[in-house]
Amino acid sequence: MNKLLNDSDTAALRRALINLASIMLLMILSVGIAGLFSVWSINRFQTRTQLALNEVVAAMLDADHAQVHFKTQVQEWKNILLRGHDLDDRAKYKAAFEAEKQETRILLDGLPAKLDHLAHIEVLAMLEKDGESSGVKGISIQVKDEVVRTLAAFLTVNEVYNGAWDAAQKDGGWNPMQADRKVRGADRELMEQFDAIPLQLARAHADLVLRANREAESRFAMLSRLVWAAIVLALAIVSLTLWRILKYPALVK
Protein backbone atom coordinates (compact mmCIF):
# COMPACT_ATOMS: atom_id res chain seq x y z
CA MET A 1 0.00 0.00 0.00
CA ASN A 2 1.46 3.23 -1.10
CA LYS A 3 1.62 5.64 1.84
CA LEU A 4 3.32 8.44 -0.04
CA LEU A 5 1.23 11.59 -0.50
CA ASN A 6 1.21 13.55 -3.72
CA ASP A 7 1.28 17.33 -3.76
CA SER A 8 -2.49 17.64 -3.95
CA ASP A 9 -3.03 15.35 -0.98
CA THR A 10 -0.34 17.14 1.02
CA ALA A 11 -1.96 20.52 0.40
CA ALA A 12 -5.39 19.20 1.31
CA LEU A 13 -4.04 17.59 4.49
CA ARG A 14 -2.23 20.79 5.37
CA ARG A 15 -5.52 22.72 5.05
CA ALA A 16 -7.30 20.14 7.19
CA LEU A 17 -4.65 20.41 9.93
CA ILE A 18 -4.83 24.20 9.81
CA ASN A 19 -8.61 23.94 10.17
CA LEU A 20 -8.14 21.61 13.13
CA ALA A 21 -5.71 24.00 14.79
CA SER A 22 -8.08 26.91 14.16
CA ILE A 23 -11.01 25.03 15.65
CA MET A 24 -8.93 24.04 18.67
CA LEU A 25 -7.91 27.65 19.24
CA LEU A 26 -11.52 28.76 18.83
CA MET A 27 -12.71 26.16 21.33
CA ILE A 28 -10.00 27.13 23.83
CA LEU A 29 -11.03 30.77 23.43
CA SER A 30 -14.72 29.88 23.88
CA VAL A 31 -14.06 27.86 27.03
CA GLY A 32 -11.86 30.65 28.35
CA ILE A 33 -14.57 33.23 27.71
CA ALA A 34 -17.15 31.03 29.44
CA GLY A 35 -14.84 30.63 32.44
CA LEU A 36 -14.05 34.34 32.63
CA PHE A 37 -17.74 35.23 32.36
CA SER A 38 -18.52 32.85 35.22
CA VAL A 39 -15.82 34.36 37.44
CA TRP A 40 -16.97 37.90 36.54
CA SER A 41 -20.63 37.10 37.20
CA ILE A 42 -20.01 35.53 40.61
CA ASN A 43 -17.58 38.28 41.63
CA ARG A 44 -20.00 41.01 40.50
CA PHE A 45 -22.88 39.45 42.40
CA GLN A 46 -20.83 39.03 45.56
CA THR A 47 -19.44 42.58 45.37
CA ARG A 48 -22.84 44.19 44.82
CA THR A 49 -24.41 42.05 47.52
CA GLN A 50 -21.67 42.80 50.04
CA LEU A 51 -21.92 46.55 49.41
CA ALA A 52 -25.70 46.39 49.89
CA LEU A 53 -25.37 44.32 53.06
CA ASN A 54 -22.81 46.80 54.36
CA GLU A 55 -25.49 49.49 54.07
CA VAL A 56 -27.84 47.33 56.12
CA VAL A 57 -25.11 47.00 58.74
CA ALA A 58 -24.62 50.79 58.71
CA ALA A 59 -28.33 51.32 59.38
CA MET A 60 -28.22 48.69 62.11
CA LEU A 61 -25.24 50.41 63.74
CA ASP A 62 -27.03 53.77 63.62
CA ALA A 63 -30.01 52.22 65.38
CA ASP A 64 -27.70 50.59 67.92
CA HIS A 65 -25.85 53.87 68.54
CA ALA A 66 -29.16 55.71 68.95
CA GLN A 67 -30.12 53.14 71.56
CA VAL A 68 -26.81 53.59 73.39
CA HIS A 69 -27.02 57.39 73.31
CA PHE A 70 -30.58 57.34 74.65
CA LYS A 71 -29.59 55.02 77.49
CA THR A 72 -26.70 57.36 78.26
CA GLN A 73 -29.12 60.28 78.17
CA VAL A 74 -31.30 58.53 80.76
CA GLN A 75 -28.22 57.92 82.89
CA GLU A 76 -27.28 61.59 82.66
CA TRP A 77 -30.80 62.48 83.84
CA LYS A 78 -30.27 60.25 86.85
CA ASN A 79 -26.97 62.04 87.49
CA ILE A 80 -28.83 65.36 87.42
CA LEU A 81 -31.30 64.13 90.03
CA LEU A 82 -28.62 62.59 92.23
CA ARG A 83 -25.99 65.32 92.04
CA GLY A 84 -27.96 68.37 90.95
CA HIS A 85 -27.93 69.96 94.39
CA ASP A 86 -24.57 71.42 93.39
CA LEU A 87 -25.16 74.11 90.76
CA ASP A 88 -21.95 73.37 88.83
CA ASP A 89 -22.63 69.65 88.77
CA ARG A 90 -26.21 70.30 87.71
CA ALA A 91 -25.03 72.39 84.77
CA LYS A 92 -22.41 69.80 83.81
CA TYR A 93 -24.81 66.87 83.80
CA LYS A 94 -27.52 68.89 82.07
CA ALA A 95 -25.05 69.72 79.29
CA ALA A 96 -24.16 66.02 78.99
CA PHE A 97 -27.87 65.17 78.94
CA GLU A 98 -28.50 67.63 76.11
CA ALA A 99 -25.50 66.36 74.15
CA GLU A 100 -26.75 62.76 74.32
CA LYS A 101 -30.26 63.89 73.38
CA GLN A 102 -28.89 65.68 70.32
CA GLU A 103 -26.87 62.64 69.20
CA THR A 104 -29.92 60.42 69.60
CA ARG A 105 -32.07 62.83 67.63
CA ILE A 106 -29.57 63.05 64.77
CA LEU A 107 -29.36 59.28 64.45
CA LEU A 108 -33.13 58.80 64.60
CA ASP A 109 -33.74 61.59 62.07
CA GLY A 110 -31.42 59.92 59.56
CA LEU A 111 -32.71 56.35 59.90
CA PRO A 112 -35.97 56.61 57.87
CA ALA A 113 -34.12 57.94 54.81
CA LYS A 114 -31.54 55.15 55.10
CA LEU A 115 -34.29 52.55 55.32
CA ASP A 116 -35.99 54.08 52.27
CA HIS A 117 -32.69 53.85 50.41
CA LEU A 118 -32.29 50.20 51.39
CA ALA A 119 -35.77 49.46 50.05
CA HIS A 120 -34.70 50.73 46.61
CA ILE A 121 -31.42 48.82 46.36
CA GLU A 122 -31.98 46.37 43.49
CA VAL A 123 -29.94 43.48 44.84
CA LEU A 124 -31.65 43.61 48.26
CA ALA A 125 -35.09 43.76 46.64
CA MET A 126 -34.16 40.75 44.51
CA LEU A 127 -32.99 38.78 47.54
CA GLU A 128 -36.15 39.62 49.46
CA LYS A 129 -38.41 38.67 46.54
CA ASP A 130 -36.60 35.41 45.82
CA GLY A 131 -36.56 34.55 49.52
CA GLU A 132 -40.28 35.01 50.14
CA SER A 133 -41.10 31.42 49.23
CA SER A 134 -38.56 30.10 51.76
CA GLY A 135 -39.57 32.47 54.54
CA VAL A 136 -36.52 34.73 54.22
CA LYS A 137 -37.40 38.33 55.08
CA GLY A 138 -35.58 41.59 54.52
CA ILE A 139 -36.08 45.22 55.52
CA SER A 140 -39.85 45.35 56.03
CA ILE A 141 -41.89 48.53 56.00
CA GLN A 142 -42.67 47.82 59.65
CA VAL A 143 -39.07 48.63 60.60
CA LYS A 144 -39.34 52.12 59.15
CA ASP A 145 -42.72 52.63 60.81
CA GLU A 146 -41.19 51.57 64.11
CA VAL A 147 -38.40 54.14 63.69
CA VAL A 148 -40.94 56.90 62.95
CA ARG A 149 -42.98 55.94 66.03
CA THR A 150 -39.83 55.84 68.14
CA LEU A 151 -38.81 59.32 66.97
CA ALA A 152 -42.25 60.69 67.84
CA ALA A 153 -42.15 59.01 71.26
CA PHE A 154 -38.61 60.31 71.81
CA LEU A 155 -39.73 63.90 71.21
CA THR A 156 -42.69 63.41 73.56
CA VAL A 157 -40.52 61.97 76.33
CA ASN A 158 -38.10 64.86 76.04
CA GLU A 159 -40.98 67.26 76.52
CA VAL A 160 -41.64 65.41 79.76
CA TYR A 161 -37.98 65.79 80.71
CA ASN A 162 -38.15 69.51 79.99
CA GLY A 163 -41.25 69.88 82.16
CA ALA A 164 -39.60 67.92 84.97
CA TRP A 165 -36.47 70.09 84.72
CA ASP A 166 -38.52 73.26 85.06
CA ALA A 167 -40.53 71.80 87.93
CA ALA A 168 -37.37 70.81 89.82
CA GLN A 169 -36.12 74.41 89.76
CA LYS A 170 -39.42 76.07 90.55
CA ASP A 171 -39.08 79.22 92.67
CA GLY A 172 -35.29 79.09 92.35
CA GLY A 173 -34.89 75.92 94.42
CA TRP A 174 -33.99 72.36 93.57
CA ASN A 175 -36.51 69.55 94.07
CA PRO A 176 -35.26 66.35 92.39
CA MET A 177 -38.05 64.28 93.94
CA GLN A 178 -40.69 66.30 92.12
CA ALA A 179 -38.75 65.98 88.86
CA ASP A 180 -38.43 62.24 89.33
CA ARG A 181 -42.18 61.85 89.92
CA LYS A 182 -42.94 63.62 86.64
CA VAL A 183 -40.59 61.44 84.60
CA ARG A 184 -40.99 58.10 86.37
CA GLY A 185 -42.03 55.41 83.88
CA ALA A 186 -42.30 57.84 80.98
CA ASP A 187 -39.34 56.36 79.11
CA ARG A 188 -39.96 52.65 79.81
CA GLU A 189 -41.90 51.94 76.63
CA LEU A 190 -39.53 54.11 74.61
CA MET A 191 -36.59 52.11 75.91
CA GLU A 192 -38.25 48.93 74.66
CA GLN A 193 -38.74 50.53 71.24
CA PHE A 194 -35.07 51.49 71.11
CA ASP A 195 -34.15 47.90 71.97
CA ALA A 196 -36.42 46.45 69.27
CA ILE A 197 -35.15 48.38 66.23
CA PRO A 198 -31.54 47.06 66.19
CA LEU A 199 -32.86 43.53 66.76
CA GLN A 200 -35.23 43.80 63.80
CA LEU A 201 -32.46 45.10 61.56
CA ALA A 202 -30.08 42.40 62.78
CA ARG A 203 -32.65 39.71 61.93
CA ALA A 204 -33.22 41.28 58.51
CA HIS A 205 -29.45 41.33 57.89
CA ALA A 206 -29.12 37.68 58.90
CA ASP A 207 -32.01 36.72 56.60
CA LEU A 208 -30.49 38.61 53.67
CA VAL A 209 -27.06 37.04 54.25
CA LEU A 210 -28.69 33.60 54.26
CA ARG A 211 -30.51 34.32 51.01
CA ALA A 212 -27.36 35.82 49.44
CA ASN A 213 -25.39 32.67 50.28
CA ARG A 214 -28.09 30.49 48.75
CA GLU A 215 -28.18 32.66 45.63
CA ALA A 216 -24.37 32.55 45.34
CA GLU A 217 -24.43 28.74 45.57
CA SER A 218 -27.17 28.57 42.93
CA ARG A 219 -25.24 30.85 40.58
CA PHE A 220 -22.03 28.89 41.09
CA ALA A 221 -23.80 25.62 40.25
CA MET A 222 -25.43 27.11 37.13
CA LEU A 223 -22.22 28.71 35.87
CA SER A 224 -20.25 25.54 36.59
CA ARG A 225 -22.67 23.66 34.37
CA LEU A 226 -22.16 26.31 31.69
CA VAL A 227 -18.37 25.92 31.78
CA TRP A 228 -18.56 22.12 31.74
CA ALA A 229 -21.00 22.25 28.82
CA ALA A 230 -18.57 24.49 26.93
CA ILE A 231 -15.70 22.07 27.64
CA VAL A 232 -17.72 19.04 26.50
CA LEU A 233 -18.87 20.84 23.35
CA ALA A 234 -15.31 21.92 22.56
CA LEU A 235 -13.98 18.38 23.01
CA ALA A 236 -16.76 16.98 20.84
CA ILE A 237 -16.11 19.44 17.99
CA VAL A 238 -12.33 18.91 18.13
CA SER A 239 -12.78 15.11 18.27
CA LEU A 240 -15.16 15.17 15.31
CA THR A 241 -12.77 17.31 13.29
CA LEU A 242 -9.82 15.07 14.14
CA TRP A 243 -11.84 11.96 13.22
CA ARG A 244 -12.70 13.49 9.85
CA ILE A 245 -9.02 14.23 9.21
CA LEU A 246 -7.99 10.66 10.14
CA LYS A 247 -10.62 9.38 7.72
CA TYR A 248 -9.15 11.56 4.95
CA PRO A 249 -8.72 9.38 1.85
CA ALA A 250 -5.06 10.23 1.41
CA LEU A 251 -4.30 8.80 4.86
CA VAL A 252 -6.18 5.56 4.43
CA LYS A 253 -5.43 4.69 0.87
**What is the mean pLDDT of the segment spanning 180-198?**
90
Q: Is the dihedral of CA 169, 175, 179, 182 positive or negative?
A: negative
Q: Give domain status of residue 21, yes or no.
A: yes
What is the extent of the structural domain holding 18? 7-252
Tens of pLDDT, residue by residue over 79-123, are 999 988 888 999 999 999 999 999 999 999 999 999 888 888 888
Q: Is 63 exposed, middle or buried, given 0-12, 13-18 or 19+ CB atoms closer than 10 A? A: buried
Q: Please give the mean pLDDT across all residues of the chain.
A: 85
**What is the mean pLDDT of the segment spanning 179-187?**
87
Whole-prediction pTM value?
0.76
Q: Give domain status of residue 2, yes or no.
A: no
Give the chain's domain count.
1
Q: Which amino acid is at 107?
A: L
Q: Give domain status of residue 1, yes or no.
A: no
CB proximity list for 202: less than 8 A, separation 6 or greater? 60
Measured CA to CA, the distance from residue 117 to residue 26 in angstroms comes to 46
Query: Is pLDDT of 146 > 60?
Result: yes
Q: Give domain status of residue 177, yes or no.
A: yes
pLDDT value of position 2: 47
